[in-house]
A and B are shown apart, each in its own frame.
Chain A
Amino acid sequence: MTTILDPTDERKPVARQITARTGTLSGTIGLLDIRKPRGNVLLDELERQLKAAAPGVAVKRFAKPTFTKPCPDDMRRDIAAEVDYLVEALAD
């Protein structure tokens, strides 16, 4: 691990920042199943609720070949090109 000293006036936290929230829901939402058991059940329910809550929003489903390995580059690029938001279902 490398330790560095903060070069700024320290008024902002240095942790990696989450993307700014827009406050609205529009465009296409990707739902990524990492292939852990019952991830599809969670995402099916999420898709149903999303469609009910935001009828104008499109949903696109993705599934990794296996949860044991990182997402293939091609799929990563496809997701980035095709969706505005991504929800990843992690758990069993």
Chain B
Amino acid sequence: MTEAKPGFSLTSLAGRTHAFPTGGPSLVVFVKEDCETCNTAAPVVEAFQRAYGQGLQVLMPAQSGEANAVFAARHGLTFPVLDDAGCKTSFDWDIEIVPSVFWLNADGSVRQHFEGFVRAEWQALSADMAADLDLPQAQVDWDSLPAWRPGCGSRHLYPEIFDRLRAAASGELLRARRIDIAEADDVIEFMFDQGFSDGLPLVPPTPERVLKMLGGTHRAPQDLIAIVPPNMGEATTEKVAINAVMAGCKPEYMPVLIAALEAVCTDAFNIHGVTATTMGAAPVIVVNGPIRDRIGMNKGLGALGSGNRANATIGRALRLIVGNVGGGKPGGVERSTLGNPMKYTMCFAENEERSPWPPLHVERGFNKEDSVVTVFAMTGGPVHIVDQESREPSQVAGSIGLGLESVFLPKLRNLPIDALLVVCPEHIDTLMSQGPYTKAQLRARIQEVTSRPLSEMVANEVSGAGMSKATAEKLGPDKLKARAPKFAGDAYIHIVVAGSDAGKFSSAFHGWATGEIGSQSVSRKIDLG
């Protein structure tokens, strides 16, 4: 015995209400007026009504609104044709194709079910019903009917109808507070007024859109993805999806966004500090692995700029979650003196195909086939490093090193601070022009060309920053001759490849306080379910 089909109460063309289950056996056939196959089947159902109507109730939920009457008149139907207004019953019965035929027991369980028009199936049903009801078989000229005709898609599956029905039936899935916005209120303005925005207009997170967004991940809507500082708000999959809708994401971006959120909400990354610092840090998201192409991320021309939906909206959604779920809003816990445009969004893919080196995620211990998000806390950038003249690998590497001198302040050395270097393809070509040139060589060259005597770090009349005069005196002139590189270690220099084939312009992001008191870069494998 199958499970009983959901009950319904629908109105016939005559204005009478018909409820299911009917109290006895029934034949329920779903149709829509403009479906050829439904028009083929309708006279057969009418013949069934005449033959078996005394033994079972024939009902026909129809999906075509006012055209239901046209359909009934066209075929002279004498049984109730019911208005499945809004296709809710079709949705509840989970049909896919019309005509959809159900022979049901008195308790609403299914005895037989098929879709479309396979003549042999309809003939067999007729014979079975005749035998069961002990009535003569229906008079149907079977030979005049096609042997097989596929049905049409049920109308409730049209996207605009299905999304609405699914949202209405989603009480269990969606638990976020529903906000009804009056007709007279502009939704976009309302969202600005509520402080949901980063300063740019938002896509309204309607239940329909949020459900669609949730389809992009296997994570259940109420799964806790992360606790988001500073308010320690709970970011469930649903809350992530709501903010993803507002940012303009597509559902397939969800796994990347979830991994990025998990990464920034670790103790190591310290999104609280990144949000709060007056220095104005922001997460920079680098995506590696097959998902880059699957969701259409930009790793080439203009990869660090505008124009690509995935790059733009994944970064934006992450920032919206920190603001809305975590409560990190400018002027509140977010206190940056100047801020920077990365606080809107900064997300790009590594151009692994144009890189001679192991990609970032492989360098960090993942497999090449893994899709991985890596987050860095950066305060500045991308800052251009322009060198159109160098033809020797060591020269380009030297220029890149000199380009990194401005991290924090050129005179500061030995910085325990991250930098994220984005090498462009033309610079890669020059680096590789005389054989392999490894990342380790590039890091060493950066440290080499930026090394200066400690004496240049001492506070003076040009700049009071750097080593204090007292410390310098304590060290003495000999020790001040020792040379110090820009970074306290090679490991602070992170290297990826991105950009188009034309142009000798690499770029760098400058870090924030790195380490346990600040932020450490975090990689997270993207869970594709």
Interface residues of A (CB under 8 A from B): 1-11, 14, 16
Tell me how far the C-beta of B238 lies from the nearest C-beta in chain A, rounded to whole angstroms. Answer: 8
Docked pose: A2 CA to B324 CA in angstroms: 20
Docked pose: A85 CA to B206 CA in angstroms: 37
Contact B193 A16 (CB under 8 A): yes
Contact A10 B176 (CB under 8 A): yes
Contact B207 A5 (CB under 8 A): yes
B182 within 8 Å of A by Cβ?
yes
Q: Which of B177, B206, B231, B326 contacts A6 (CB 8 A)?
A: B177
Kindly name the residue among A2, A7, A10, A16 whose own CB sees the greatest number of chain B CB atoms within 10 A.
A7
Q: Which of A2, A5, A7 contacts B325 (CB 8 A)?
A: A7
Tell me how far the C-beta of A16 lies from the nearest C-beta in chain B, rounded to whole angstroms. Answer: 7
Residues on A with C-beta less than 8 A from B180 are 1-3
Contact A5 B205 (CB under 8 A): yes
Tell me how far the C-beta of B70 lies from the nearest C-beta in chain A, rounded to whole angstroms. Answer: 33
Tell me how far the C-beta of B358 lies from the nearest C-beta in chain A, rounded to whole angstroms. Answer: 38
Q: Which residue in chain A gives the minimum CB-CB distance to B204?
A: A4
Tell me how far the C-beta of A13 lies from the nearest C-beta in chain B, rounded to whole angstroms. Answer: 9
Tell which of B239-247, B338-346, B348-356, B420-428 binds the partner. Answer: B239-247
Interface residues of B (CB under 8 A from A): 174, 176-183, 187, 191, 193-194, 196, 204-207, 210, 228, 231, 233-234, 238-239, 242-243, 246, 320, 324-327
Q: Which of A1, A7, A11, A16 contacts B242 (CB 8 A)?
A: A7
Q: Which residue in chain A gives the minimum CB-CB distance to B234?
A: A9
Contact B194 A14 (CB under 8 A): yes
Q: Which residue in chain A gives the minimum CB-CB distance to B210?
A: A5
Tell me how far the C-beta of B119 lies from the nearest C-beta in chain A, rounded to whole angstroms. Answer: 47
Known: A5-B207, A8-B324. 15 other contacts (CB 8 A): A1-B182, A4-B178, A4-B187, A4-B206, A5-B206, A5-B238, A5-B242, A6-B179, A7-B205, A7-B243, A7-B324, A8-B196, A9-B228, A9-B325, A11-B231
Docked pose: A14 CA to B187 CA in angstroms: 13
Docked pose: A2 CA to B204 CA in angstroms: 9
Docked pose: A13 CA to B88 CA in angstroms: 33
Contact B183 A1 (CB under 8 A): yes
Q: Which of A1, A5, A16 contacts B176 (CB 8 A)?
A: A5
Contact B181 A4 (CB under 8 A): yes
Docked pose: A16 CA to B234 CA in angstroms: 24
Docked pose: A16 CA to B177 CA in angstroms: 15
Q: Which residue in chain A gives the minimum CB-CB distance to B177?
A: A6
Docked pose: A64 CA to B129 CA in angstroms: 77
Q: Which of A1, A7, A10, A11 contacts B181 (CB 8 A)?
A: A1
Tell me how far the C-beta of B163 lies from the nearest C-beta in chain A, rounded to whole angstroms. Answer: 13
Residues on A with C-beta less than 8 A from B194 are 14
Residues on B with C-beta less than 8 A from A10 are 176-177
Shortest beta-carbon contacts, A-B, top 9: A9-B233, A6-B177, A5-B176, A7-B324, A7-B242, A8-B324, A2-B181, A5-B242, A5-B205
Docked pose: A6 CA to B234 CA in angstroms: 13
Contact B234 A7 (CB under 8 A): no
Q: Which of A3, A7, A11 contacts B320 (CB 8 A)?
A: A7
Contact A4 B182 (CB under 8 A): no
Tell me how far the C-beta of B184 lies from the nearest C-beta in chain A, rounded to whole angstroms. Answer: 10
Residues on B with C-beta less than 8 A from A16 are 193
Residues on A with C-beta less than 8 A from B205 are 4-5, 7
Residues on B with C-beta less than 8 A from A8 are 196, 233, 324-325, 327
Docked pose: A39 CA to B315 CA in angstroms: 55
Q: Which residue in chain A gives the minimum CB-CB distance to B232?
A: A9
Tell me how far the C-beta of A92 lies from the nearest C-beta in chain B, rounded to whole angstroms. Answer: 25
Contact A3 B181 (CB under 8 A): yes
Tell me how far the C-beta of B308 lies from the nearest C-beta in chain A, rounded to whole angstroms. Answer: 23
Contact A5 B179 (CB under 8 A): yes
Docked pose: A69 CA to B457 CA in angstroms: 71
Contact A6 B193 (CB under 8 A): no
Q: What are 8 sample pairs from A and B whose C-beta atoms fall under 8 A apart?
A: A2-B181, A5-B174, A5-B210, A7-B196, A7-B243, A11-B231, A11-B233, A16-B193
Residues on A with C-beta less than 8 A from B174 are 5
Q: Which residue in chain B gives the minimum CB-CB distance to A16?
A: B193
Docked pose: A11 CA to B177 CA in angstroms: 11
Tell me how far the C-beta of A87 lies from the nearest C-beta in chain B, rounded to whole angstroms. Answer: 23
Residues on A with C-beta less than 8 A from B325 are 7-9
Docked pose: A51 CA to B416 CA in angstroms: 65
Q: Which of A2, A5, A6, A11 contacts B187 (CB 8 A)?
A: A2
Contact B179 A14 (CB under 8 A): yes
Q: Which residue in chain B gives the minimum CB-CB distance to A5?
A: B176
Residues on A with C-beta less than 8 A from B246 are 7
Tell me how far the C-beta of A12 lies from the nearest C-beta in chain B, rounded to whole angstroms. Answer: 9
Tell me how far the C-beta of A11 lies from the nearest C-beta in chain B, rounded to whole angstroms. Answer: 7
Docked pose: A62 CA to B324 CA in angstroms: 41
Residues on A with C-beta less than 8 A from B327 are 8-9, 11
Docked pose: A7 CA to B327 CA in angstroms: 11
